[in-house]
């Protein structure tokens, strides 16, 4: 992910590495209208990575058990922490796409459609 706004692709998602902007600088899209949804995705992906690590531990059986555990622990931390901003970006993009697909056109009117119907109303009068 480019770590940019999923709607306009201009505004950055993060103000620092792990701090998210509340909304897009360019188009004012609110990134996390329901923050619980993106956290659910974060838990799932963290669980997925943990699963990968467990499999890696079963495949690679180090001669020195203690050194092996430390290496796996460090690798796991790096993997989970380093992918966090990227995963957060993916979560926000998915959230945005899902919301846009399920958006009710009557309760969340598209600005273009609204201006068009208003123009028609003016013409009728």
Q: In 1-125, which residue ranges form alpha helices assigned H by DSSP? A: 35-59, 65-82, 84-102, 111-124
Q: How far apart, in whole angstroms, are the C-alpha atoms of residue 83 and residue 48?
A: 12
Site for Zn ion in 7-46 (CB under 5 A): 7-8, 11, 24, 26-27, 29
Are residues 13 and 88 in contact, defined by beta-carbon separation less than 8 angstroms?
yes
Please identify, among the stretches 1-9, 13-21, 95-103, 111-119, the one whose residues bind Zn ion according to the rule CB under 5 A: 1-9
Mask for 43-82, x = binds Zn ion (CB under 5 A): ----------------------------------------
Helices 84-102, 65-82: inter-axial angle, 10-degree rounding: 40
Taking contact as CB under 5 A, which single stretch among the options 6-14, 44-52, 91-99, 106-114 is the one that binds Zn ion?
Answer: 6-14
- The binding site for Zn ion (CB under 5 A) comprises 5, 7-8, 11, 24, 26-27, 29
């Amino acid at each position: 992910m480019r770590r940019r706004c999923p709607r306009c692709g201009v505004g950055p998602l993060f103000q620092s590495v792990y701090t998210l902007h509340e909304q897009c600088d360019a188009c004012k899209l609110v990134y996390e209208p329901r923050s619980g949804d993106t956290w659910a995705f974060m838990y799932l992906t963290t669980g997925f990575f943990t699963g990968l690590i467990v499999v890696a531990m079963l495949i690679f059986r180090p001669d020195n058990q203690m050194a092996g555990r430390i290496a796996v622990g460090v690798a796991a931390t790096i993997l989970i922490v380093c992918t966090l901003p990227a995963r957060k970006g993916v979560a926000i993009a998915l959230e945005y796409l899902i919301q846009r697909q399920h958006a009710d056109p009557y309760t969340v009117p598209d600005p273009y459609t609204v201006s068009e119907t208003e123009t028609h109303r003016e013409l009728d009068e």
